[in-house]
Amino acid sequence: MSAAREASPALDVRGLVTRFDTRAGPLTAVNGVSFRVERGRILGLVGESGSGKSVTGFSIIGLVDEPGEVSSGEVRVEGVDMRALSKPEQRRMRGNRVAMVFQDPMMTLNPVLTIGDQMRMAVLAHARVSKAEATERSRRALETVGIPSPAERLRAYPHQLSGGMRQRVAIAIALLHKPAVIIADEPTTALDVSIQGQILAEIRRLADETGTAVVWITHDLAVVSSLADDICVMYAGRIVERGPAEAVIATPRHPYTRGLIDSVPGETEPGERLPQIPGSTPSLANLPKGCPFQPRCVRRSDQCRSEPPIHEFGSQSVLCHHPLEVVA
Ligand SMILES: Nc1ncnc2c1ncn2[C@@H]1O[C@H](COP(=O)(O)OP(=O)(O)OP(=O)(O)O)[C@@H](O)[C@H]1O
Ligand code: SF4
Ligand SMILES: [Mg+2]
């Protein structure tokens, strides 16, 4: 790896704005999102449905299409400005230096090809190696994600594998070229809890061993609390709180993060009803002036009708007029 690559963070996102032209008018799905992920680190990107997590992922890998557009901001993968690249150059980066794992593995897998055929194609798209070498790399990738009898699995079709195995194959494909960055968009939500746990543990190990930086997108704070190094909490297209995972979980400063934590099972006695954040995710086409969380926030004041400032608490930061203080 070149010195310049080594010195740059694996992923550096600055001021990303992505808009959609809809019948209800233009809306900003990603509104000035910035974060960086160093090599081998895992960032949990958390928020309710519609908060802009997937659009952030698609914007990073250059897969936002009409009626959407990345209108400003910078995305650097190992220092390379993704938005300055031509479409073919972006395609070369995708799958090679930056890869995405989707919630549904069939977004990656082709149902009419064997796992081996599609993995070999994925290898050969970015590496000049023999077919035998491509097969061997595919087999090793399956082994890495904990797939038993990988040589046999290469001869299988996707429908012959369980959902958990299919998702592992999709992750193996994302890992084939040891990318600098993997964006994993809720890849385990459809799986049962024990399989989720195994996959999460493997992702942690891979990040540690290969230095791949991971953006783990989820609506489930409990999932990232054990997996991520850092957490960014998204609401209505903005990052409203960020910081080291343990700090954000132990001392959330944004009323929305507090609400998310209170609605995680385990904080209540068995049988007790989980508290929910009142109200629902706002329509992006119709946001209140100032802080978008106002209609649901117990701490709101008249001040909240103006843009909230950033407050820093050590390495944690929060976008709010009235952040929560730590109760001693
Ligand atoms: N193709 C599209 N056309 C118009 N608006 C869109 C489109 N895709 C996304 N949006 C807008 O962007 C918002 C954010 O969508 P996104 O898919 O990123 O949410 P998310 O946080 O990934 O939610 P989920 O947890 O349900 O996957 C949506 O609420 C919607 O308003
Ligand atoms: S800025 Fe105001 S409305 Fe928004 S989260 Fe903070 S206290 Fe609540
Ligand atoms: Mg999504």
pLDDT tens per residue across span 177-202: 989 999 999 988 877 777 778 888 88
Our CA angle for 288, 293, 298, nearest 5°, is 120
Supply 277's token pair.
Answer: 């954040």
Residue pLDDT, tens place only, 95-124: 899 999 998 999 999 999 999 999 999 999
**Ligand 2 atom 6: the closest Cα is on which residue?**
320
Atom of ligand 2 nearest to the CA of 301: 2
Our CA angle for 30, 35, 40, nearest 5°, is 130
Taking the model in full, what pTM does it have?
0.93
CB 78 within 8 A of CB 97: yes
Report the pLDDT value the prediction gives residue 272, as an integer from 0 to 100.
59
Percentage of the chain with pLDDT > 70? Answer: 93
- Reduced to 3 states (helix: H, G, I; strand: E, B; else coil), residue 210 is helix
Report the pLDDT value the prediction gives residue 189, as an integer from 0 to 100.
80
Residue pLDDT, tens place only, 39-51: 999 999 999 999 9
- Tell me what the pLDDT averaged over the chain comes to: 91
Q: Does the beta carbon of 237 lie inside 6 Å of ligand 1?
A: no
Residue pLDDT, tens place only, 281-324: 788 888 999 999 999 999 999 999 999 999 999 999 999 999 99
CB 11 within 8 A of CB 36: yes
> Long-range contact list for 107-114, CB < 8 A, 24+ apart?
107/170, 108/169, 108/170, 108/173, 108/174, 109/158, 109/166, 109/169, 109/170, 110/158, 111/157, 111/158, 111/159, 112/157, 113/157, 114/154, 114/155, 114/156, 114/157
**Ligand 1 atom 29: the closest Cα is on which residue?**
50
151-184 exposure pattern, b = at least 16 Cβ within 10 A, e = fewer: eebbeeebeebeebbbbbbbbbbbbbbebbbbbb
β-pair partners for 17: 31, 72
Q: Which of 16, 18, 19, 20 to mutate to test the pocket of ligand 1 (most atoms within 8 A of CB)?
A: 20
* pLDDT bucket at 173, cuts 50 / 70 / 90: very high
Q: Which of 31, 45, 53 to mutate to test the pocket of ligand 1 (most atoms within 8 A of CB)?
A: 53
Question: Which of 232, 186, 203 shows the shortest CA–CA distance to 37?
Answer: 232
DSSP string, 233-262: EEETTEEEEEEEHHHHHHS--SHHHHHHHH
Mean pLDDT of 199-212: 88
Residues having CB within 6 Å of any atom of ligand 2: 255, 291, 293-294, 297, 299-300, 304, 308, 320-322
Supply 178's token pair.
Answer: 């040891």
Report the pLDDT value the prediction gives residue 266, as an integer from 0 to 100.
61
Span between the terminal Cα atoms of the chain, in Å? 47
Report the pLDDT value the prediction gives residue 265, as an integer from 0 to 100.
67
Q: Does the beta carbon of 292 lie inside 6 Å of ligand 1?
A: no
* pLDDT bucket at 220, cuts 50 / 70 / 90: confident
CA dist., res. 232 & res. 239, Å (int): 6
DSSP string, 119-136: HHHHHHHH----HHHHHH
